[in-house]
């Protein structure tokens, strides 16, 4: 067999393999597949929506980076084929803030769970929203600390059972959209893992929105949360989302509390304009310093 024939066959095989490849493979680290998530977990669905959103925005992928913390959702950074950072527990938001301040051209995305972002990371979350740091936060909310045994979380609904609340949760859970809005977020939406197209659209809008944007995704945790509460498997939970989710765009975020196995209000609740953290910094310094102020990242001619 000639070298020319061998090369042609290799090219043909490569083309055939490319045609069989999944359309999202280019944004996944296939050498790390299969992933660690349980069957019927909603994180995989949310990752698919995120990849679909990335494929539709105009930002070059080399300028997109993903930051996550610890927990089941924290593993997302390790599977996305972008510049990605798996940081320490609760510190995804400040790490992302540092990336954005160091290189304002980056599109920085925090992709993590409710425990990581709202519990140990809660202080960072509220101050990043207050400052209107230009990052997008995707919070996968499965109502418990799933990776470490299913403990009660800051989003566990009242009366729901976990490994550390065997008689039912008695602590009032956080309403994430309300928390985000009252702290200053400029874009806030909530969907379930069932709302694939709507979830993707919200992610696109959040990625394109200057400022602190939040997309909460309610997802099944069939291995721990659902089993302990006798809710069935992942399919049962998806049926529950179908029957109980109500889309109410523009709803008052004060009315979006999630109660155990009752109605879940979904939709886009906040979409407003505020100067971003860097815009506010530049405006203030320009006003105070005038000609002496060097725009962020700029250099004076006399330097």
At 119 the pLDDT is 95
**Token duo for residue 268:** 């886009």
The secondary element (H helix, E strand) that includes residue 78 is helix 76-79
Find where tokens 């995305």 sit: 109
Cα–Cα dist 232/229, whole Å: 8
Strands 64-68 and 107-113: parallel
Cα–Cα dist 149/146, whole Å: 6
At 300 the pLDDT is 47
- Domain 25-272 architecture: 3-Layer(aba) Sandwich (3.40)
The distance in angstroms from the start CA to the end CA of the chain is: 65
Per-domain residue ranges of the chain: 25-272, 275-303
C-alpha distance from residue 66 to each of 106, 151, 211 (Å): 10, 26, 16
Average pLDDT of the chain? 91
At 1 the pLDDT is 55
pTM: 0.89
At 281 the pLDDT is 87
Residues lower than pLDDT 50 in the chain: 299-303
**Using omega within 30 degrees of 0 as the cis cutoff, is the peptide bond preceding 34 cis?**
yes
Any idea of the CA torsion for 153, 126, 264, 229, to the nearest 10 degrees?
Answer: 0
CB-based contact 237:220 (threshold 8 Å): yes
Give the closest residue to 272 by CA, choosing from 217, 213, 228, 216.
213
């Amino acid at each position: 067999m000639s070298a020319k024939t061998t090369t042609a066959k290799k090219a043909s095989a490569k083309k055939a393999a490319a045609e069989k490849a999944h359309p999202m493979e280019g944004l996944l680290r296939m050498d790390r597949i299969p992933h660690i998530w349980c069957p019927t977990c909603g994180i995989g669905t949310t990752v698919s929506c995120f990849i679909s959103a990335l494929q539709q925005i105009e930002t070059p992928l080399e300028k997109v980076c993903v930051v996550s913390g610890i927990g089941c959702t924290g593993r997302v950074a390790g599977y996305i084929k972008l510049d990605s950072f798996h940081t320490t527990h609760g510190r995804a938001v400040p790490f992302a803030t540092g990336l954005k301040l160091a290189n304002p051209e980056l599109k920085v995305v925090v992709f993590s769970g409710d425990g990581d972002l709202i519990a140990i990371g809660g202080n960072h979350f509220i101050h990043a929203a207050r400052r209107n740091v230009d990052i997008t936060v995707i919070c996968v909310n499965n109502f418990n600390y799933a990776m470490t045994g299913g403990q009660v979380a800051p989003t566990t609904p009242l009366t729901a059972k976990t490994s550390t609340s065997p008689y039912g949760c008695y602590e009032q859970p956080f309403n994430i959209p309300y928390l985000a809005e009252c702290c200053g977020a400029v874009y806030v939406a909530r969907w379930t893992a069932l709302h694939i197209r709507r979830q993707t659209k919200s992610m696109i809008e959040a990625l394109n929105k200057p400022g602190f944007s939040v997309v909460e995704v309610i997802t099944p945790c069939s291995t721990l949360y659902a089993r302990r509460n006798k809710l069935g498997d992942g399919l049962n939970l998806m049926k529950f989302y179908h029957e109980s989710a109500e889309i109410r765009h523009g709803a008052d975020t004060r009315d979006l509390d999630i109660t155990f196995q009752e109605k879940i209000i979904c939709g886009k609740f906040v979409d407003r304009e505020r100067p971003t953290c860097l815009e506010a910094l530049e405006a203030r310094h320009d006003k105070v310093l005038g000609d002496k102020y060097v725009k962020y990242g700029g250099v004076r001619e006399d330097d």
